[in-house]
Structure 1
C-alpha cells in the first residue's frame, strides 16, 4: 500500500485487538529465553531469542541505545493527607541531564503532576534518608504549560546530588499498561544489561532480551556492536487520539551520538541493525541533522516531526549527510553530537540508514506500530501481529521480540 501523504494516515487503520492476557505483566526468568519472530522479505519463522546472532546478515553493525531509566516518580504527602505524585520528564534548569543530576542545592524539571487538583499552591515537603543522611526536599510549582509543569526542587544538604535524591526517594516508572505497582525486582529487570547513561523514563525494551551470552555469540559471528543514546520520554506511551496523524504531536527527545560512530556508519559496508525503535529514530535522525547542516549551522540541532516529508527534504545522499555532521563536529571541536529529535516514522517514510530492526510487539494505534508498518512491506504488519497473536507471543515491554529484515 503506497502512502501518498503520511499526514493523512488514519490511525484506525493501525488498530488490532490485544487481549489483556497477552500483555506480559512480568519478564521471563531468563531474558534471552523469549520468543523471536523472524520477518524477512514477507516470510516469517519462529525461534528463540538466544539464536538471534544466527539470523543476522554477516558483517552487520548492531546499534544499541545505552540510556538508563531513572527513578523518576516522586511522591509527596500534604498535611491534609493528599498524595501528590511528581513525575520528572526532562531537566529544565540546568537543561543538561548530567549537570542537572549533579546539582547539590536546587534544580528544576519539566514534570507531570498526579492529583494536581489537591495542590493549588504552596510547597510540598518530603523527608528522605540519603546515604545515611536525613534531608528535607521541597517542591514548588514555577510554571505550567498544558499538562506539564516546571517544578523546582530544593534540599538542605549540599553533599547530596539530585541523582542521589532520585535514587533514594524516587520510584522506577514502569509502563502504565502493566496495571500494577513497581516492584523491587523491576529495578533490575526493567533495565538493559548495557544501560549506562541516566535520563530515560521508559526502557528501550527491545534491549531487555540481550544477555552476556547473546553478546558473546554476536562477537563470535563477527557482528560489530556500538551504542547511541536517546533518553526515552513519557510520550512513548502517548496514544494517538486524533483521527489522522497530522494532528498528533510527537514528543521531543534528547539524542547523543559519538563522532567515531558517525565515522563508522559512513564507512560501514554491511547492514545496520537497530535494536529498538529508539535506536531507529536516533539513526534516521542523523540523516536529517546532516540535511539541516548542509547550508548553515542552526542555533538548535532539532529534527522536527514532519521534516522527512517536506518537498525540500531527501535530496542528499546518506554519505553527504553524515559528512556534514562530521564537518560540523570538527569545526566546533566536538567529539559528540548532541541534538533533539521529534521525528515521526510512518508509512511512506524512506529509511536512510537502518536495514534491520529488533523490536518488541507494540500497542494498537501507536506511533511505534506506525514505525514497524513503515519498515515492512505493504500491510505486512497485520500478518506479523496476527501470527504473533496466533502463536502465543507475549506483547509490549516485558513481552517477546521480533527481527525485521528488509532482505
Structure 2
C-alpha cells in the first residue's frame, strides 16, 4: 500500500496494491448504495475488463477511511473511449460536437486536432478517476454528511495528481462529476493544473406517483397526447412488453440482439465481448438485473437492460432488431416508466446523449463535468481542444433548452465574448 500524498485539506490518500479488491465488509460505502455504480458488485464487474487496469484510491482523514475512489489505469491507446483521457480529448462524437462551434472555432478545432498524434503515445500511461457507467464512482460511508462528502470531492484533484505521479502516468482525469460537487472540485482542480470540460448530461426521470393513472394525470396535455400516440403505434404494430428480473433475464436472445445492434452502428465488440460483458453482469449483479423486452409473435425484437437499487433504475444497455423500428421510444420511456412507477421506483437514470428525446419526455438533464491534466510538450494544445470541446457540449445543452451552469473556471468574465 503506497501513499499518494497529503494536502492542505488534511486528507491523505493511498493507492491500494493491484491485488486489493475492497468489499462491502471492508468499506461500508460499497454496501447497497443508492447509486449502482458505487456498489461493491459493480467494482467486481469493472475489474473483469482487459482494457484498463483497475486500482483504488483510499482517502483518509485523521487516520479514518472517508472515501474510496476507483482508478482506471490505461497503459496505451485502446481503452474504452469514455475513460481514456488522451483519446477522449479531441475525438468528435458523443462528447465533442465541433459542428456546433462558430466557423472560426471549427477551423481552429480541425487545426489543433489534426496536429495531435493519432496514437497520443506521449500521454500514456494515463490515469482516470471514474468507473464504467459514466460516473465518478466515489463511495462514501453512509454516515458522512453532504458537507463532508463535498470536502472529500474537493480534495480529489490534488490526491489524483499524486497518484498519477506515483504510477508514472503522463496524463490524468477526474470524470463524470455532477452538481453540487462539480463547483467544489473545479475550484481545487484549476489550482492543480487541470482543465475543465463539460462532458454532457445524464438524463434522470423523477417519479413521484405510485400508479400509472396518477402519472398520466400529472402530464401536460401535449405530453400525454404524444405518449398515447407512441404507445398506440407500439401496440398496433403487434408489440407487447415483457419484464424479466434476475440473472436468467439475460439470455441468448438478449445477447444476439446486442451483438446485432452494435454491428449495425459500427460499435466495437462482437459476440465474444458482448457475451463476456453480459456474463459479468449476470454473475456479479444478477439479482439487480431487469430486462424490459418488446415481443412480437413470440420473438424478442428489442430490449433495455437496467440495474435496480432500492428506489432507482439505471439503464445499462439496449438492443433492437431492424424489425423493431418504432418501438424504441415506447419501450425505453413509456413502458419502462409504467413498470417503474408501479414497482416503487422513484428515479430512472437513462445515461448520457440523446438529449432531445430525453428532455422532451420529461427527463432532467444533469450536467457531468470532467477535468484533464496533460504533461507532454503539447499540453497547451490539449487544453485549448478541451475548451472548444466543452463549448460545443455547452451549446448542445443550450439548444436542447437545458443549459448547464458553468463551473467557476468555465464561467466567462463579465463582458467576455465566448
Higher relative contact order (CA 8 A, sep 6+): 1
TM-score, structure 1 length as denominator? 0.30
Q: Which has the higher strand share?
A: 1
